[in-house]
Amino acid sequence: MFNKLFQNTCKPRGLGGKMILKMMNSGHARLSDWGLKHLQLKNTDHVLDIGCGGGANISRLLESCPDGFVAGIDYSEESVKCSRKKNMDHIGKNCEIRTGNVSHIPYRDERFDIATAFETVYFWPDLYENFKEVRRILKPEGYFMICCEEGDPVNDKWSEKIEGMTVYSIIQLADILKSAGFAVVQKDEKQNGKWICLVGMKK
């Protein structure tokens, strides 16, 4: 039963999806706070959160960028619904949440200062192509932050349970970022390399 429920981390659907989204909003709070410390967010920044899930990270970004703009995309309708509900006071003002796949981000070239990806790259279909797509929507010298709670590919505790999940090491992610046209400006680990955070700057 739990295994079935956890499939929803990949693409939340229905009632199980709703439950997982709520759990992730609270369960990922410490990781997100740690990850966000690696960015120097400005009041006026325009930020895109990719794979926004239940929308808690959009709320955090809105707090840090009150005079900017925060968008979220997710390919799950359930995630989009939950993120919109969580951030409803901002929607139509300084926030927009759309259904969208990282393979084809529904925004024009150089639209954002910063892009974030919390707990989601495990499920992306082609990291090299997807990182190039993230690079496309960033301004020159814009930043792309990746933050994961699982950074040890040898530990298959979750990847064994969740279909379509691949755990990458910090080295693997840094190499792909570099080949996709980013300079890796931050690489950090916590919990003995379990939590990882990388920041790439668009070259």
Q: Is residue 9 at the binding interface for ligand SAM, with CB under 6 A as the rule?
A: yes
Of 31, 8, 29, whose CA–CA distance to 20 is shortest? 8
123 scored as a contact of ligand SAM (CB under 6 A): yes
Q: Which residue is nearest to ligand SAM (CB)?
A: 53
Asked whether the CA dihedral 201, 61, 125, 171 is positive or negative, the reply is positive
Which of positions 10-39 make contact with ligand SAM (CB under 6 A)? 11-12, 24, 28
| Nearest to ligand SAM of 118, 143 (CB atom) | 118
Interface residues for ligand SAM in 37-76 (CB under 6 A)? 51-54, 57, 73-76
What is the C-alpha separation between 164 and 181, in angstroms, rounded?
26
User: Is 178 a binder of ligand SAM (CB under 6 A)?
Assistant: no
Does 101 interact with ligand SAM (rule: CB under 6 A)?
yes
* Contact yes or no for 186/197 (Cβ under 8 A): yes
- Calculate the alpha carbon distances from 125 to 82, 116, 203 in Å: 23, 17, 23
CB of 77 to ligand SAM, least distance (A): 9
Q: Is 124 in the site for ligand SAM (CB under 6 A)?
A: yes
C-alpha to C-alpha distance for 161 and 159, rounded to whole angstroms? 5
The H helix count followed by the E strand count for the chain is 7, 7
Size, binding site for ligand SAM by CB under 6 A: 22
Residues that bind ligand SAM (CB under 6 A): 9, 11-12, 24, 28, 51-54, 57, 73-76, 79, 101-102, 118-120, 123-124
